[in-house]
Amino acid sequence: MASCNLEQTSSSTSTTASIASPPFHPDSIPFTAGIPMASAVSDAGAGAAGPGLGWRDPPKGLELAQVHYLVRHGERTPVRSRLTHIFPEKWNLCRAGREFDACVLELAPTRDHSIPPFQVGQVNSGKSATMYSSIMRMRRSVETESSISGRGQRDEEGECLLGELTDLGRLSTLRFGRELRSLYVDRLGFLPRLLTSKDTDALYFRSTNMGRTIESLEQVIRGLHSNAVQPNTQGQYIPKVLVRNGTDENLLPNTFGCSRLSVLDKAFADAAARVHNPNLEEFDGQLESLTGAKPRVDGRPRLNGIVDTVKAAQAHGFPMPAALADTRMLRTFEDAIVAEWFSGYNAADPDKRAEFRRLAMGRFVNDLANRMSSRAEKGQQDPLKFAVYATHDTALAGLLNTLDVFDGRWPTFTASMGVELFRDTSTPTSSSVFSKVQSLFGLRSQQQQHYVRVRYGDRDMKLPACAAQGKHFEGRPELCTLEAFMGIAKSLQHPQGWTWEQQCAVGQGPRSSK
């Protein structure tokens, strides 16, 4: 079943984007000024990136060699039904996601079947049957207590499921992809304007195994890769989205796959509740009248759930009760939630802090460092030039905390974080015949210096680990030497060389064999 991607939007201020034709010209960024998107505001912090993504030219002689981007999924519905007496019980903001029908298996061919018949049966059993694919109109809806009792609102076209990427989320991630294209294709010429099958190994796309991140990544790719795609066209570039097994996932702090991290995470969350709950008491009357509960980090509902629903509603322009629009209250809530989720990265105990960072984001930082190191050492013989990872707020904030540059604000929808590798083409290299042969084959001399720049939204990050003289480009502290960045990665490895799995088993009792 083909993916449904948002292609172009109108300039209306409606919170629900619509699909229109003809598609926008590849050289242009779609006009979205009339549609408020927090992620598109310049110099706003929290991972937002305005037009141009805040690009700042590197010093003369530095040449872009590899680019990695992490992007939070776009705007979505709340992950649970909360505050339905304030906001709609059902959010009809997912029309793009309903543009395709369900793919079903058929016993006989129909006029709707889109691919040739295929065999279905057990592998290597020799027993199979010829089946056909078809499409069937279906509707999906969130079942609620009121809908069960018959009191709920009627189903409407475009109804969203819980935690689903909305049309606005598709638009903001599409817009981000167009900004990537505008910068790295149109302005810098780092990627070719027309991608072909020869570019397959030059690009890498990966997502966590959740619908909203996969769909967000597809929209980013659509913005970045605007080539017309025709079926069975030889030599065309077909993007591939990679998804890892859940226990192997490192694009977020994986408490599912690591029991030790889960234990630490709970301990720090409980500690945050003890510290911050007293600060929340002054808002009891203000919030309890609306939600029926006092705002508490560990309350029922939890404070992060209430704020999640409010932020989702704000992003889509729903009217906000005055009691929920109090900026001082919301900032106090945000501080408490940030502590609940991320205080482990900055624990007072250096051993606990190091362990938490290692287990939460250490694997991904080392993956990133190894990819850049490979490109630096092998030059063009390592084909990877551009990577995009679709992930979550906890990954962006986790990585920023691990690098000691978190701004204390919860990442906005479609927040982004770029990691760019530059090579210094002005660095003297050996004049030996071997060096010249290396150059002919795309290899780089070991003497050539490389630098890493981390960008959060449209802001350059100055990493404390690179602050010392000799660990960054002179006069440009945001440009870490690759060696200094590799040092960060090494600090996130276990001192005794334990694997992540071995570290995760610390303190673990007998496990079920299920």
- Nearest-angstrom CA–CA distance, 174 and 6: 7
Q: What is the pLDDT of residue 222?
A: 94
- pLDDT tens track for 323-332: 898 999 999 9
Judge whether residue 16 has pLDDT over 70. Answer: no
Instruction: Mark out the alpha helices in 281-361 (DSSP H runs).
Output: 284-291, 303-315, 327-342, 350-357
Instruction: Mark out the alpha helices in 209-258 (DSSP H runs).
Output: 211-224
Quote the DSSP letter at residue 493: S
Using alpha carbons, list the distances in angstroms from residue 387 to 107, 224, 469: 41, 11, 30
Query: Would you place residue 17 in the very low, low, confident or very high pLDDT band (cuts 50, 70, 90)?
Result: very low
- pLDDT tens track for 179-220: 999 999 999 999 999 999 999 999 999 999 999 999 999 999
Q: Which of 98-102, 392-396, 503-507 has the lowest mean pLDDT?
A: 98-102
Using alpha carbons, list the distances in angstroms from residue 407 to 338, 392, 401, 410, 453: 11, 17, 9, 9, 17
Query: Would you place residue 227 in the very low, low, confident or very high pLDDT band (cuts 50, 70, 90)?
Result: confident
Judge whether residue 414 has pLDDT over 70. Answer: yes
Query: Would you place residue 430 in the very low, low, confident or very high pLDDT band (cuts 50, 70, 90)?
Result: very low
Helix, strand, coil percent values for the chain (each to nearest 5): 40, 15, 45
pTM over 0.75: yes
- Nearest-angstrom CA–CA distance, 466 and 488: 9
Say if CB 40 and CB 24 are below 8 A apart. Answer: no
- Nearest-angstrom CA–CA distance, 213 and 72: 8
Using alpha carbons, list the distances in angstroms from residue 114 to 98, 109, 118: 19, 10, 12
List Cβ neighbours of 287 (8 Å cut-off, separation of 6 or more): 293, 294, 295, 306, 323, 329
Q: Which amino acid is at 493?
A: Q
Query: Would you place residue 235 in the very low, low, confident or very high pLDDT band (cuts 50, 70, 90)?
Result: confident
Q: What is the pLDDT of residue 118?
A: 73
Count of positions (residues) in the chain? 514
Judge whether residue 286 has pLDDT over 80. Answer: yes
Give the containing element (helix H, strand E) for 281.
none
Judge whether residue 13 has pLDDT over 90. Answer: no
Judge whether residue 443 has pLDDT over 70. Answer: no
Give the containing element (helix H, strand E) for 112.
none
Q: Which amino acid is at 348?
A: A
Quote the distance between the C-alpha of residue 318 and its chain's center: 25
Q: Tell me whether residue 444 is exposed, middle or buried, using C-beta atoms within 10 angstroms of its C-beta: 0 to 12, 13 to 18, 19 or more.
A: buried
pLDDT averaged over every residue in the chain = 86
- Nearest-angstrom CA–CA distance, 489 and 53: 26
Q: Give Dmax (Cα) for the chain.
A: 82
CB atoms within 10 A of CB 73: 29
- Nearest-angstrom CA–CA distance, 371 and 383: 11
Q: Which of 35-44, 170-179, 258-267, 304-313 has the lowest mean pLDDT?
A: 35-44
